[in-house]
A and B are shown apart, each in its own frame.
Chain A
Amino acid sequence: MSLELELFIQQVFNGLTIGAYLGLIALGYTMVYGIIELINFAHGDLFAFGFFISLTIFTALGIPRPLEGFNLIVVLPLIFVVTMLLSGGLNVLIDRVAYKPLRNAPRLAPLITAVGMSFALEALFAIWQGPSQINYPRYFPQIDILRDWMGLEPQLLFITTKDLFLFGVTIPLMVGLTLFVDRTKLGKAMRAAAQDREAASMVGINVDRIIATTFFVGGALAGAAGLVWGLYINSGRFLMGFEAGLMAFTAAVLGGIGNIRGAVLGAFIIGLLKAMGDQYIGGAWSRIIIFAVLILLLVFRPSGILGSTQSIEKV
């Protein structure tokens, strides 16, 4: 395999890894938007929360690294569950405090409380964990799959067990969420509430509970993304939620906001754009490329790639 081809494949792979965790965050954005039409600016901060709380749990339990045997098979999934429960719970709490009192207020009022919540959370993270870059120990064992397991001799390609772990967690969560929304009764109620809140409550759906569920699921996914990021990238900062949230929101809009498959698709597109931009054009420009693609796409498809054209009338 030529060097150029390997480089290209590696970048595609990198793009997919970025897309995988962005997708988890974007799902929460898109679900909340679908139901209460709120750009939840504080959503990215739950990603940071997942990062910090899982780090705190790892440290508190004093788990040796790298994870092996029992710790890998039992403790890690448990930490995952706890992190997701706590992040989901926090998101429900945020909704109770900052958005629920404003359900019938002017449309921009909850946008401002979301911004306020985001400011407050970021400042609290800075107090809790310090303002500087934080090292997340390398808990997950990193084994070079191509060279050590498969005996291949690529020049550049570098794919490790960490990548397997990343996809092994994010893809099932995305599929699981899609099945949950498509197949279960609760998911059906969520879709009904997203279509028309009033009509949904008329046919006996407890809309308040559905909204709380949505916030819980969205927060849990963002928390999971934070944990995955910690184990994969091994460093983070109190402001990390802002940038991730911005990109995830962009992904959700790119795919068509309110559309679950669209959010995942948008996240992978952004991941690929970022990886390719970093490699072939220069890191300083990839942000510009992502946003320029977003603008161009919306010019030709005003409601995103998979967004229904009907949603234009809804606003």
Chain B
Amino acid sequence: MNAIAESWSKLPRMLQVGIVLALIIATPYLIGAVEQTSNFALLSQINRALIFVVLALGLNIVVGFAGLLDLGYAAFFAIGAYTFGVLTWPNLGIQASFFIAIWICAVVAAFFGILVGTPTLRLRGDYLAIVTLAFGEIIPTLVRNLDEITIRIGDWVILDKFNLTNGPQGMNPLGRPDFSFFEGIFNMQPGALAVSFDPKFWYFMIVITAGFVLFASRRLDMSRLGRAWKAIREDETAADFMGVDPIRTKLLAFAIGASFSGLAGVIFASMIQAIFPELFRFQVSIFLLIIVIISGMGNVFGVLIGGLIISTFDGVLLAQVLPQILPDVDVQSLRWVFFGAGLIIFMIFRPQGLFPRKAKAAVIPTALAAEGGD
């Protein structure tokens, strides 16, 4: 393993990037070939896994970087998806373009991040966890109830049984990316780029988003803000004394984390074309938290790999492969037994997670240290 890592690091940078890009581009075609020979739905599972990676990267900012235990993160996922729903569901008549809606949704999700963050600023530890949990429970319930909104002031009816979210029936269909604008620019045949039903298309869409989010996470990790988050995580009082503004820092963690899941929500909604309140329940928040903690909190690449492993373990191995290997066993009902037992066993043997972040020893240049010693 080390030998591979060593020879990898000796390769020129351009070649490294090239190999990674080639692998990423080849993946859907390779998987397509595997899908032809077996009857597993792999690519759509990988798309789902990648969406969970984007979500987990967002949660990683809140939990891993800033140390704010968030048990209701699925709420922002729901807000992203449902804002997209409101903007593109034909019954509401807005039908905004996908490429415009996605940014609006990210901003709306970030706004809600701040909204949740504000009342939690004074709270610490698990009290914060319960407020986020409460918010995570409120949003799906609210979405379920907002199908008959009536607002009346005296005799003046502002809204009468206005259907914003279509309640438990869910919203369907939703907008898809529309390329007619680009086709117009390049004088192409109309519909030439309309490939948005193909899982391969969504694969590339999600990979680009995941790449963006990964890049942003890496940059944030090493930025001044990232250091402020970690200072807050380690000791809020000390960080405050050192001049880190805890309010601003925490709110930025909530806002940026939420905006990532807003993006994920939009892509998810547009990909599966139908959203229901049930898709964003507490279990989703918990699943994401599992990814972040098992991957090793705060480690960006760890979350990427851990998210892929855990989602495929659940979506492919437990849900699809195991039933074929063990046709006599009722795997469906045992699935959660395995998943739960797997979590317990894993945590007992590796409580620090798969890829714990290596604490970099603070290196003080000798000259500076000598000066400080005087």
Contacts and interface: CB of A to CB of B under 8 A. Distances in A.
Interface of A: 33, 37, 39, 97-98, 101-102, 105-106, 108-113, 115-124, 126-127, 131, 246, 249-250, 253, 257, 284-285, 287-288, 291-292, 294-296, 298-299, 302-304, 312, 315
Q: Interface on chain B toward A: helix, strand, loop, or mixed SS? A: helix
25 contacts: A39-B129, A97-B344, A108-B297, A109-B347, A111-B293, A112-B294, A112-B343, A113-B344, A113-B347, A117-B340, A117-B344, A118-B340, A120-B339, A120-B341, A120-B344, A123-B340, A127-B330, A127-B334, A246-B137, A250-B134, A253-B130, A257-B127, A284-B144, A288-B141, A298-B130
Contacts, number: 132
B144 A102 contact: no
B249 to A, nearest CB: 18
A294 B286 CA distance: 20
A302 B123 contact: yes
B135 interface: yes
Interface in B108-146: 119, 122-127, 129-131, 133-135, 137-138, 141-142, 144-145
A256 to B, nearest CB: 10
B250 to A, nearest CB: 14
B337 interface: yes
B340 A112 contact: no
Contact of A287 (B141, B290, B339, B342): B141
Contact of A120 (B125, B133, B336): B336
A291 B347 contact: no
A284 B145 contact: yes
Q: Interface on chain A toward B: helix, strand, loop, or mixed SS? A: helix
A122 B339 CA distance: 12
A126 B141 CA distance: 25
Contact of B344 (A98, A291, A295, A299): A98
B176 interface: no
Contact of B119 (A111, A121, A284, A298): A298
B157 interface: no
A214 B126 CA distance: 20
Given A102-B348, A116-B342, A295 B124 contact: no
Contacts of A109: 293, 347, 351-352
Interface in B325-341: 330, 333-337, 339-341
B336 A122 contact: yes
B104 to A, nearest CB: 25
Contact of B290 (A37, A39, A112, A122): A112
A117 B334 CA distance: 14
Contacts of A257: 126-127
B69 interface: yes
B126 A113 contact: no
A312 B138 contact: no
Contacts of B133: 246
Nearest to B63: A108
B282 interface: yes
A253 B282 CA distance: 18
A118 B282 CA distance: 13
B135 A298 contact: no
Q: Identify the interface centre among A111, A292, A303: most chain B CB within 10 Å of its CB.
A: A111
Contacts of A111: 289, 293
B138 A291 contact: yes
A246 B129 CA distance: 13
Given A113-B343, A115-B286, A302 B122 contact: yes
Given A102-B348, A253-B127, A127 B333 contact: yes
B127 A302 contact: yes
B119 A295 contact: yes
A57 B333 CA distance: 24
B123 A121 contact: no
Interface string B292-303: 011001000000
Given A127-B333, A246-B282, A295-B135, A303 B341 contact: no
B338 to A, nearest CB: 8
B340 A102 contact: no
